[in-house]
Structure 1
């Protein structure tokens, strides 16, 4: 896996979790608490979700369901191939499973996984391993279950004939569930031997699986999807690292009337160092601030009960007219600049 999990993603995953929770009588407001997301934003194709926001949703979901072993398996089964957009079509159109593995790992930034995935061949077995050691302990099992099962669901959507896939076993590093019926839930979904307290979390296939051709393989479609996936991956790479730290901090503030110096102090950087890091990542503080303001504005404006002066304050502007000017600039795709009001906080 070549990309870290700390990257922005679409709202599809959060939407899947809200729908899954709703089937259990859990309100979306409970699932979204503290994430700075609302239900209306989940249906907007332009909504961008930070990794920290999705983790907040996962933690809420785990807490609301009692974090029972096996729940991550139930949730992961809802991550169908179509949830991944262009990447899903690319995996389905690839010439062989070997290609889907290489592409799935290379374009991991286009998935919703928080586990680090690695693939290897042990003699006559192909093994896909999942590690979530950097996840908080209270949700680590839930994350592993969800991510591993989501990968399995991609395989099942690609090869509807279960018997055609030489799946041999599933291994988990955590202990077997002590809750009655939980182990059966694992076996019911995976339909192969499931072991616990293993060295690693792994899916094990016959190595011959790598040579299978997906039934929807299409070279032209695969080439077209690679172009789209490359473009999206490049865009998201600009939203990681220090820029992601800045963005996450801004999203957590009650007002975006912040200078670069304010943020640098919080993140323990010298102002010059923070500016240099952002430039190295191909962006600026002004651009990140403007992007966050636009995202926050889009969410707040969906709620017509919020007064204009409150929206202006949240965005870091002194009055509503400044918000109106900023929105015009965003629609034109013009970079921030010009008036002192719009440049406030750019540092």
Structure 2
């Protein structure tokens, strides 16, 4: 399992609590001992730890009917779109291998609980799940949920996808759990194995994905990198929140009004908070656009005019001036260097 103190969006706990009443479990019962209240799950600046989510899952299982397959039922609520930019980066990948590597590399932006790895030295290749530290029932729920999320993504990645092409090797040894997973997901289950992993067909990893779009993929990966950087950089509170909201909404041409609404404050309040931190919405927006533009020029091979348009500039000259002022070199020179490096490689 990942670091129990790792922080993430409360979205996964919110999905669980919203589903709980269907199982005669109150949201408050799920949150017992977590230090959270329902209101926290809808707060834009709230982060929960992995330990809090695991506690909530344990509470849900304590009060819910004791039957296998609950993780599959809850997992069906985790459509790719609820994962935001992480999900879009996966869906725009060129091959199934690339989609898995993107999912693993940026897993901290997701709701994954297990530590996931790709073992290509094994024949057949294995997608591994480390759930050490979880109680048996929570472990079963988490693995069921992760399998279902994989199925949800794979159905969008590949036409005519079926989990029957996969085999789930698992340390779980309850035959009822294995039967439930096989029945609900259509995947072959081999219980009592030394580790938890999905055996992948040999030809799957290099299979091209029909939704691949290089520009969209690099745009999404750039935003993923920026979001991960937010976790390590000491931005003031409101600057960090606005920057994150702006990056997530970049494709929708964010305004201070839309961002203020997302953060649950008025425009006037947001302007004042940012002013107190010696910045402004316009400056944050410009910085975010230029950071994305930098990634597109460096990795996607797009021309300057296209990058200017994709980052919200109506005139390429305006983009060039802003870019040069921020980075002290022109976007054209970055593109040339990036092209040279690709040829040299």
Check whether TM > 0.5: yes
The match for 1:105 is 104
2:112 equivalent to 1:170: no
Q: Deviations over 1:271-309 (max 9, x none)?
A: xxxxxxxxxxx659xx79xx9xxxxxxxxxxxxxxxxxx
Choose between structure 1 and 2: higher helix proportion.
2
- State the Cα distance separating 1:54 from its structure 2 match: 1.4
Gaps of 5+ in 1: 239-281, 292-326, 336-347
The match for 1:72 is 71
Please give the TM-score of this superposition, normalised by the length of structure 2: 0.63
Does the Cα contact within 8 Å between 2:181 and 2:189 map onto a contact in 1?
yes
State the alpha-carbon separation in 1 of the partners of residues 270 and 195 from structure 2: 52
Superposed, which structure 2 residues align to 1:221-300 within 5 Å? 221-236=216-231, 238=232
- State the Cα distance separating 1:140 from its structure 2 match: 2.5
Q: Secondary structure at the match of 1:161?
A: coil
Does the Cα contact within 8 Å between 1:156 and 1:162 map onto a contact in 2?
yes
The match for 1:149 is 148
Q: Secondary structure at the match of 1:79?
A: coil
The match for 1:207 is 202
Residue 187 of structure 1 is aligned with which of 173, 177, 182? 182
Does the Cα contact within 8 Å between 2:125 and 2:201 map onto a contact in 1?
yes
- State the Cα distance separating 1:44 from its structure 2 match: 3.7
Q: Deviations over 1:47-86 (max 9, x none)?
A: 3222222122112112112553332222223222112110
The match for 2:19 is 20
Q: Secondary structure at the match of 2:150?
A: helix
Q: Secondary structure at the match of 2:128?
A: strand
Does the Cα contact within 8 Å between 2:4 and 2:51 map onto a contact in 1?
no
The match for 1:133 is 132
Residue 219 of structure 1 is aligned with which of 214, 219, 227? 214
Q: Secondary structure at the match of 1:23?
A: helix
The match for 2:293 is none
- State the Cα distance separating 1:12 from its structure 2 match: 1.5
Does the Cα contact within 8 Å between 2:164 and 2:186 map onto a contact in 1?
no
Distance 1:155 1:4, change over 3 A: farther
State the alpha-carbon separation in 1 of the partners of residues 149 and 45 from structure 2: 23
- Greater RCO (CA < 8 Å, at least 6 residues apart): 1
The match for 1:48 is 47
Does the Cα contact within 8 Å between 2:93 and 2:212 map onto a contact in 1?
yes
Gaps of 5+ in 2: 241-268, 278-345
State the alpha-carbon separation in 2 of the partners of residues 333 and 62 from structure 1: 46
Does the Cα contact within 8 Å between 2:168 and 2:199 map onto a contact in 1?
yes
How many aligned residue pairs are there? 248
Q: Secondary structure at the match of 2:204?
A: helix
2:273 equivalent to 1:331: yes
Q: Secondary structure at the match of 1:162?
A: coil
Q: Deviations over 1:77-111 (max 9, x none)?
A: 32221121101001111111111111111101111
Does the Cα contact within 8 Å between 2:88 and 2:220 map onto a contact in 1?
yes
Does the Cα contact within 8 Å between 1:14 and 1:57 map onto a contact in 2?
yes
State the alpha-carbon separation in 1 of the partners of residues 28 and 65 from structure 2: 17
2:23 equivalent to 1:81: no
Distance 1:127 1:68, change over 3 A: same
State the alpha-carbon separation in 1 of the partners of residues 221 and 165 from structure 2: 27
State the alpha-carbon separation in 1 of the partners of residues 8 and 168 from structure 2: 28
The match for 1:273 is none
Does the Cα contact within 8 Å between 1:97 and 1:209 map onto a contact in 2?
yes
The match for 1:35 is 34
